[in-house]
A = this chain, B = another copy of it.
Amino acid sequence: MADGYHHGNLRAAVLERAAEVIEREGPYSFSLRSLAADLGVSHTAPRHHFGSREGVLNALAVEGFRDLAARLRADREAGGGFLEAGVEYVRFATDRPAHFQVMFAPTLLGEGDEELEAAREAAFAELQGGVRSLAEEGRPVEDGAAAVVAGWAIVHGIATLALTGNLDRSGVRRLFEDTDLLTITRRSAGLLFGPVSGPSGGVPGTGSG
């Protein structure tokens, strides 16, 4: 494969390295040229596989949406329930921070990429399906639409704040001492759709007056 002229596996190598760079320095300083130089190919080589810089980011987003959808699906099939799906969402964000950033930053991506649209829709379908399963958990969902937004927003918010370092920077993280981020997620999201047991663990204000 790698014969000195043909890299042999350039597409995968570019995606992997791009994710590393973006994770370390953010999407702004990610450059095709320095990436290509690192991989020992000319700066136009990646263009053959991705078309453009935007194409690389699109491909990362596709990877990300597919992985996220697969994780949510697996979680649902394992009967993890909604809370664990939310935890999985945050776990995905911390496992693949570069993908997560790119997926939700539309100004980095191009429009009209069918592969991307399909991957995104599939992931979003899993997301909403997860929230709808709340009803099947025997929990009363009075305002279903609000529950979808609240569930998504709380895990997306935790993921975003953690990834941007603002949880640490704000001192909020210190309130938890050494607690793991996923545990923090469970406790926080649990306030919304808390563990059924325990009178105070559920949604405040719904049970008592």
Residue of B with least CB distance to A190: B146
Q: List B contacts of A29 (CB < 8 A).
A: 107
Q: List B contacts of A156 (CB < 8 A).
A: 153, 157, 160-161
Q: Is A146 in contact with B209, judged by CB distance below 8 angstroms?
A: yes
| 5 nearest A-B pairs in the assembled complex, by CB-CB distance | A26-B107, A157-B157, A153-B157, A194-B205, A145-B175
Identify 10 new A-B residue pairs, CB closer than 8 A, beyond the known A26-B107, A29-B107, A143-B206.
A27-B28, A128-B170, A128-B171, A145-B175, A146-B190, A147-B188, A149-B158, A149-B187, A152-B161, A193-B204
Which residues of A are at the interface with B, using a C-beta cutoff of 8 A?
25-29, 104-108, 120, 124, 127-128, 139-140, 142-150, 152-158, 160-161, 164-167, 169-172, 175-176, 184, 187-197, 200, 203-209
Contacts A140-B204, A193-B204: A188 and B124 contacting too (C-beta < 8 A)? Answer: no
Contacting residue for A209 out of B26, B165, B191, B197, CB 8 A? B197
Q: Is A208 in contact with B143, judged by CB distance below 8 angstroms?
A: yes
CA distance A166 to B142 in the complex (A): 24
Contacting residue for A146 out of B146, B165, B167, B191, CB 8 A? B191
Q: List B contacts of A175 (CB < 8 A).
A: 144-145, 148-149
Q: Is B191 in contact with A150, judged by CB distance below 8 angstroms?
A: yes
Contacts A104-B164, A160-B104: A149 and B128 contacting too (C-beta < 8 A)? Answer: no
What are some 25 contacts across the A-B interface (CB < 8 A)? A25-B107, A104-B160, A104-B166, A106-B166, A124-B170, A143-B207, A143-B209, A144-B175, A145-B172, A145-B175, A146-B191, A147-B188, A147-B191, A148-B172, A149-B158, A149-B167, A149-B187, A150-B189, A150-B191, A153-B154, A153-B188, A156-B157, A156-B160, A157-B157, A194-B203
